Amino acid sequence: MSLEILELQSGVEGLFIKNNRFNTTLVSYNFYLPLKKETAAENALLPFILTSCSNRYPDFSRLNYKLSKLYGARLNASTEKYGDYQLLRMTISVINDRFSLEGDSLVKNASELLLGLIFEPKCENGVFFEDDLEREKRKAIEHIKGEISEKRVFAKKRLIEEMFKNEPYGTPKCGTVEDVQAITGESLYKAWKNMLSSGFVRVQVVGSAVPDGLFEEVSERFSTVDRNNVCDCKISAPAKKVSTPKTVTDYMDVSQGKLCLGFSTTLCGNDDVALPLMVMTDIFGGGPYSRLFSNVREKMSLCYYCSASAIRQKGLVTVESGLETDNFEKAEKEILNQLEALKKGEFSDFEFESSIKSITDSLNTYNDSQNSIDLWYVIKVNNDSLYTPEDIAEKISTITREDVINAAEGVCLNTVYKLLPKEAK
């Protein structure tokens, strides 16, 4: 697959990802902004309020009618954490132009609709309307509280907060309940203006073709914005190595405890640097062939689940497990023993080959979904090369046992987080 990034304006890129497998085209507008406690809540709210109404479509019923005229086009919004940055995503999916009965370009019309929502919000005198704001604040607060209710999500979130305390990555991607409650129509308007002026922007089209003038329309819109202070989202600070790991314990009304471990690594950055970390982490705690699953969970029965994952952009490895209170000390010790085994090369060819096959098989499924293809390139902004999933699968197949051992040797425990039942105090 041959891909080319188009420079549309300062800090605004266009990318066409050709794919003929689908009867629809997906257009995504992706804004990357620094992750800061002071602005996280406002930024996180923007994709949702912008895709719910606008000056031209002042309520969702009128916006929904417009979407139905585009043969049921679908709008979606999300806020993610991308290293030390917030990723604000707004997407629209519409059937391909060849299905249009009127002969219009449905894809271009859908892109223009979303572009209009982004640039023409429902505001008055530099303030978002109170009704719209309160609706989205209520949803945001419900989402944040929902994460607290899901204890597995909550425990990992707390681990990250403690491991990266007073650092951007430790900031919750949607802010806190108190941060959301403090948002005003004026502060949200300022956040919107800042998003347009300083956010790094990637506009992506996944489909069979790009209609004439689509990227030119994007360029023209952004040409009206002063973009002299654009966010550089390619580099994030790596997780720090510490001489003495810290332990943090929370007590809540839970029946099952949670144990999360956070590790720094020496491999951090783009796919040209950090791919061995992916394989090492998978052998450590990926599939049913992994060290954590087969030993800590199955053979020793120390926990209900135990898995590892890596954020290569941050040089971060985390282990998550759910277990009974009596098993915390033994589980932590055995997790660290399995890591030491990897450092010594004490893993079988079966484990190594199973991991390589599992990862390459997973990479080969990306093309089964337009959203997955789109997200693949959205989170590869820090790469100098536009590697396809197939490219990465080929690179994974060349990784050796020595690469895995070297990756494991750079993994160092930073933080231990425990979530215990209140009666364990």
pLDDT mean by block of 10 residues, the chain; 425 residues: 85 95 96 97 98 95 96 96 96 92 87 97 96 97 93 96 96 96 98 97 95 95 93 91 96 94 95 94 96 96 96 96 95 98 97 97 93 95 90 96 97 98 82
Do 265 and 350 lie in one domain? The reply is: yes
- In a domain? residue 311: yes
Global pTM reads 0.95
Range of the domain at 85: 5-222
Burial class (CB in 10 A: 0-12, 13-18, 19+), 206: buried
pLDDT for the residue numbered 1? 52
Strands 200-207 and 12-18: parallel
Question: Are 314 and 350 part of one and the same domain?
Answer: yes
- Whether residues 365 and 313 fall in one domain: yes
Q: Are 187 and 256 contained in the same domain? A: no
Amino acid type, 136: E
Answer left, alpha or beta for residue 213, where phi above 0 means left and psi between -120 and 50 means alpha: left
Helices (H), 164-303: 177-181, 185-198, 214-222, 271-285, 291
Residue 294: CATH number of its domain: 3.30.830.10
Tokens of 319: 């282990």
- The predicted pLDDT at position 80 comes to 96
Looking at residue 385, what is its pLDDT? Answer: 87
**Does 370 reside within a domain?**
yes
Q: Are residues 353 and 414 in the same domain?
A: yes
Q: Are residues 376 and 341 in the same domain?
A: yes
pLDDT of residue 359: 97
Has residue 231 been placed in a domain? no
- Give the number of domains in the chain: 2
Indicate the residue among 188, 222, 256 that finishes a domain: 222
Residue 107 domain flag: yes
Q: What is the DSSP letter of 101?
A: S
Residues 250 and 336 reside in one and the same domain: yes
